[in-house]
C-alpha cells in the first residue's frame, strides 16, 4: 500500500518534471523506528522530526538513541540548502539515472533507481 499511495505518485511527478526539462529531487527515508517493537518501520512522514530537529516531541514514535541526532545532522542541512538554494546537494532526478538520496541512520548516499523492479512492476513493465 505504501508504494501505491505514496512512492509511485511521487515518482510519476518527478518523471513528469524531468520530461518537461525541470529539476526534481527524490529522497528515500529508510530508517526504521524501533518504537512499538519496530512495527512502524519507515512510516510515512516519520522523517519530519529529523528534518526539523524536534526529536523530543516525537519520542513516542521514534524512540531514543545516539543515532537519532546523526540522522538529523544528515537530513536537516539538505532541507535548508534546498530552501535557500533550490538544490538539496545531490543530483536531480532523471528517467535515465533516477538519482535518489537514501537516508538511513547515520548513513546517506545517492542510489540510482531504488527498488527499480518494483517500480517496473507497478508500471506494468515487469
* pTM reported for the whole predicted model: 0.88
Beta strands in the chain (DSSP E): 26-29, 99-104, 107-112
In this structure, what are the phi and psi dihedrals at residue 33, rounded to the nearest 5 degrees?
-70, 135
Number of domains the chain is built from: 1
17-30 per-position pLDDT tens digit: 999 999 999 999 99
In this structure, what are the phi and psi dihedrals at residue 29, rounded to the nearest 5 degrees?
-90, 110
- pLDDT, residue 88, reads 98
Q: How far apart are CA 68 and CA 99, in angstroms?
A: 25
57-109 per-position pLDDT tens digit: 999 999 998 789 999 999 999 999 999 999 999 999 999 999 999 999 877 89
Angle at 61 between CA 60 and CA 67, to 5 degrees: 100
Structural domain boundaries, residue 102: 2-122
Lowest mean pLDDT among 47-56, 88-97, 108-117: 108-117
Amino acid at each position: 500500500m505504501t508504494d501505491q499511495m505514496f512512492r509511485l505518485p511521487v515518482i510519476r511527478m518527478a518523471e513528469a518534471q524531468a520530461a518537461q526539462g525541470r529539476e526534481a529531487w527524490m529522497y528515500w527515508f529508510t530508517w526504521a523506528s524501533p518504537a512499538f517493537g519496530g512495527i512502524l518501520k519507515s512510516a510515512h512522514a516519520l522523517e519530519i522530526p529529523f528534518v526539523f530537529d524536534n526529536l523530543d516531541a516525537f519520542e513516542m514514535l521514534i524512540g531514543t538513541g545516539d543515532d537519532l541526532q546523526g540522522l538529523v545532522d544528515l537530513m536537516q542541512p539538505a532541507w535548508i540548502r534546498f530552501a535557500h538554494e533550490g538544490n538539496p546537494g545531490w543530483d536531480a532526478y532523471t528517467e535515465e539515472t533516477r538519482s535518489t538520496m537514501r537516508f538511513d541512520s547515520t548513513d546517506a548516499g545517492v542510489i540510482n533507481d531504488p527498488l527499480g523492479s518494483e517500480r517496473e512492476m507497478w508500471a506494468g513493465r515487469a
